[in-house]
Structure 1
């Protein structure tokens, strides 16, 4: 799967990337949810570059462990 095919697996909305807040509002996808004490829940969003980096880490880990790599699943349990 190429980069664009992987990105197409995600729902993109304007937001602030958790690793690059200085970029301001950019297309982002949900990659997690945090539950700050007394403050409900907050989505953790990542930009295109970060989603690809996370997918690369997942693919490498799957190869090391002998597991199946299935793209598009970052943040799957986020909601």
Structure 2
């Protein structure tokens, strides 16, 4: 699966990437969530480059552990 196919599996909106805030407002998608001590939940947004990097890591871990790799599921299940 190529980069564009993976990116098309996500819903995108303009936001600030958690890892690259200096880029300013770019296309982002939800890649996770955090629960601050003060309560509530905050969505963590990642840019296209971060999504591809995280998908690459997931693919490598699946290959190393014999697990199945299914792209397009960042932010759905953390842990």
Q: Normalising by the residue count of structure 2, what TM-score does the alignment of the two structures yield?
A: 0.94
RMSD: 1.1
Deviation string 1:19-67 (CA, Å, 9 cap, x unpaired) is 0001111000100010111141110000000000000000000000000
Secondary structure, aligned partner of 1:38:
coil
d(CA) in 1 for partners of 2:25, 2:36: 22
- Please tell me whether residue 3 in structure 1 is matched to residue 3 in structure 2: yes
- Give unpaired runs (5+ residues) of structure 2: none
Structure 1: tracts of 5 or more residues without a match: none
Residue aligned with 1:15, SS? strand
